[in-house]
Each structure stands twice: as structure tokens, then as C-alpha cells.
Amino acid sequence: MELQDYLRILRKNWILILLLTLVGAGIGGAVSLVTSPKYSSTAELYVTVRAQEGAATGDLLQGTNFARQSVVSYVDVATSALVLDRVIDRLDLDNTASELESKLSVTAPEGTVLIKITATDVDPQHAAELADAVGEDLTTVIEDVIELADSDGQSRVQLSVINPATVAENPVSPNTKLNIALGTVLGLMIGFGLALLRHILDTRIRSLHDIRALVEAPVIGGIAYDSDFRKQPLIVQAKPRSPLAEAFRALRTNVQFLDPDSTSQVFVLTSASPAEGKSTTSTNLAIALAQTGFSVALVDADLRKPKVAEYMGIEGSVGLTDVLIGKAELTDVLQPWGRGRLAVLPAGRIPPNPSELLGSRAMQEVIANLGENVDYVIIDSPPVLPVTDATVISRFANGIILTVAAGSTKRQQLASAVDAIDAAEGKLLGIVATMLPTKGPDSNAYGAYSYGESYGVYGDEVVPDKGAIAKATAKKAKTAESK
């Protein structure tokens, strides 16, 4: 994944991430509200070794080193039962030694002879008393029990209180700001993690990056989603100035460069699965090509669920199947459409053996006849995955144009469709992305396809190539005149 992929995930799931971030902050604040405040007080002791009068400098240094070494052990003694039992008796507490130990923190800064005793409690006064009591009883235990007195009745080690514990005014916990900050960060991490997991588990095609990762063929067009397609599928004819019509004209331009050196221009349009916009793309592409002055034949080779006759508003009871079984001539069933040079060959009656008819020699002759008499033959065929019809027809054509519905087609379906085409030795010429979102994080990836027709495919972008378009148009016009 690239940086732009992470940014797209953020944009797409920002509501989820924001919601979980706020929840995390709220939980952090709630924890602070329900947690009883605790106060800390610290008593500080200084450890020394008593030196005899007239002691040499070396003796003093040796005593200091002894004190430093002993301080480490005294830290553990401070929280021992020997000291804490005395504290419990002194303060008349109901706690056990282990319970009292959980309220204490005893440390000795490295390289010093200091002992810091910190007591934490919900009562600030009790915290101060507890710290002082531990300090006093630690002094008693060290001087009277552990470090035995000399012959003169004094212990070699002396503990002195240099900073008695004071009553704290402000609680040390809960730290509301810290809890809210931690909750916010945790909520943000969980939110982004769920967004990333959602992205990984979502196997649907969402962007051009998804298509490029699976298919080497170029993306030659992008058609945005419009709910009006069901009411008016012929958008190029009905709304010629709309952005959708411009997108189909851009596709028309790119189709002219798919196989420019071939004498015939026969393209099979299909999809991986049903309802991915192949019939809508076929009909509008055919109309767009005819509007440029090319002679076009639109063939409905979907002999299972034909849609072309319905979309074009023509009679479809007689058509391709009648020609293939020898009951009609091709010229008799071709129906001129509109004012341009477009002829439509509907599917006709649905036969019991579509694959056999479409792979027959009669079908090859029909396509060859059309290819010799018109500039472009656009064949609408069934989806690749459910049936083999499209790959069978592709043997008689220049190649296949595969439509991929954004937000509907899954990566595995697209990969399987490409594999099926390769297995049948078909030629995948290009991809048309359909049902593209017009809003949201996925819309920017397809914006280049909505600016008009005078564009040619170059890499992953759509760039102007007016000179090449003019040459191609002149070549097609010259060919039409010779015919």
C-alpha cells in the first residue's frame, strides 16, 4: 500500500475514526470521574555513619561508602513486616502489612545516602502521617535492631529526617488530562485499525490502483454512476452535453487507438459478472462512434439476457439467432437507428444452445461480413464467468473490452475473468470502469475521464492527443469512401 491508499482510507472512514477517537476520550474522562482522587506525601531521610572523635579522613570516607551501600538494603527494610507492623500499631490501622505496602514507594537516588518514602492515600492527611510513621519506625529498626549498638550504646548508623512529609493540596491521581489524552490516542489507533481491517476485508474494486494491481491492460474509460441510467440508458443521445455523455465520448476516442493497424475494428464488450454496465456501455459507445461519422454495427450477442433491443427501442423478436440458423439474411434483420450511420442487430429469440451458435462458422461469417462493410462492430456479449460465450466470440474479433463496476466487482472476480480470457487465448484490449462514485474519496481517482472526448490513453492518465485523433478520423473517413 502507498501513502495515497492510507489517505484514502482515512478520508473514507473518517467518521468511524472520529467517533472512536471521541469515545476513547470520553472513556478516559469517565475513568477520571469515577476514580477516587489519591494524594501523595514524601518524607526524606539522610543516612550517616557515626565517626569517632579524631577519626582520620580515610575513616570518614570509608563510613560514607558504607552508608551508600547500606541505603540500598534499607529501602527493602522500609517495606518489610518488621517496619510495617510497627506502623500499623503506631497509627492503629486495620490494614495488613501487605495492604500497607501497596500504598508505599521507597526509593534511594543512585549515588546518594538519601531514602525517600512516599505514601499514597485517598486522605491527604493520612498519607502524610503514614510517610512520617514509616520513616520513624524505619529509623528505630535500623538503629536498634539491624545495626546493633556499640559498647557506648550508640548504633554505628544514624538516620535523620531532613524533609518531613507535608499534607498534599492537589491529588496525584487521577490525571484527567493524561487519561483523556491516552483515551484519545487509543481510540484513534483502534479507529484506524478497524478502518484498515475494513479495507483489507473489502475485496471489491474501488480504485484504478485496484485494477492496475490485477490487470496489465489499460483503463480506457470511466463512467460515473447515475441512477437515471435505468430510466434512460442512452445517455449520449438523451443528454449529449452531460458529463456522462462526455465520458462515453472519451471512451470512443480511446477505442480508436486500441488496434489502429487492423483492417477491421471488431470489439467484444463483456464483464466478469452480470449487472456491471456492459450493455449500457455497448449501446452508448456505438452511438458515440456513429455521431463522429463512422459506420457502426451494434450486435446483441447476449443470447441469454439480451438488452440492446430494449435499450435502443427497437423490435427484437427477429435478429442474430435467425441469421445463425439460416432463417433470415443479415441485411434483412439489421435495423438502422437514428440519423447517423448506426445499424443494430438484435439478439432475436433466445436459443437453447447459445454457446454453440456463437461459436459456429455462421457467427464467424456474420462478424466478417459486418467488419468488411462498417468501420466498427460493437458486440455486446454475456458475462465471462457464468458462461463462455464472450471468449468464444472473441476468436472472431480484434479483442475484448472488459467492463468493471466500481463498488460491485470483486478482485477475485476480475482476476478470474482475466484468467478465463487468457485461457481461451482471447486478447484483452482494455478496461472500462463503470458505476464510478461521483463523491467521496474514491471519486478523485476517476476525475480525468469527465472532461471531454479529445483525449488519448497514455500510461495511467488520459492526455490530449488531437493530432492523432485527426489522423485516425481522416483514415476512417477515407476507408468509408472507398467502400
For 8-21, what is each residue's pLDDT tens digit? 788 888 999 999 99
C-alpha 42/C-alpha 44 separation (Å) is 7
Considering the domain architecture, whether residues 71 and 157 belong to the same structural domain is answered as yes
pLDDT (tens digit per residue) in 118-160 = 999 999 999 999 999 999 999 999 888 887 655 556 777 889 9
Considering the domain architecture, whether residues 257 and 230 belong to the same structural domain is answered as yes
71 lies in some domain: yes
245 lies in some domain: yes
The whole-number pLDDT of residue 480 equals: 47
Considering the domain architecture, whether residues 227 and 136 belong to the same structural domain is answered as no
The whole-number pLDDT of residue 401 equals: 96
461 lies in some domain: yes
395 lies in some domain: yes
Pairing of strands 342-345, 335-337: antiparallel
Residue 298's CATH number: 3.40.50.300
Residues of the chain short of pLDDT 50, as ranges, are 54-57, 60, 444-473, 475-477, 479-480, 483
C-alpha 17/C-alpha 215 separation (Å) is 32
Maximum alpha-carbon separation in the chain: 134
The whole-number pLDDT of residue 259 equals: 84
168 lies in some domain: no
169 lies in some domain: no
Considering the domain architecture, whether residues 387 and 401 belong to the same structural domain is answered as yes
Considering the domain architecture, whether residues 286 and 410 belong to the same structural domain is answered as yes
Considering the domain architecture, whether residues 266 and 191 belong to the same structural domain is answered as no
Q: What percent of the chain has pLDDT over 70?
A: 86
Look at residues 105, 137, 163 and tell me which one is the last residue of a structural domain: 163
**Residue 142: which domain range?**
39-163
Considering the domain architecture, whether residues 73 and 182 belong to the same structural domain is answered as no
Total domains present in the chain: 3
Considering the domain architecture, whether residues 296 and 381 belong to the same structural domain is answered as yes
pTM given for the model: 0.65
C-alpha 207/C-alpha 192 separation (Å) is 20
Considering the domain architecture, whether residues 244 and 297 belong to the same structural domain is answered as yes
Which residue(s) pair with 267 in the sheet?
378, 399
- DSSP H helices, 325-441, are 330-333, 354-358, 361-373, 389-393, 411-423
The whole-number pLDDT of residue 462 equals: 34
The whole-number pLDDT of residue 448 equals: 42
155 lies in some domain: yes
- 195 residue type, one letter: A
Considering the domain architecture, whether residues 78 and 214 belong to the same structural domain is answered as no
Considering the domain architecture, whether residues 194 and 339 belong to the same structural domain is answered as no
Considering the domain architecture, whether residues 276 and 258 belong to the same structural domain is answered as yes
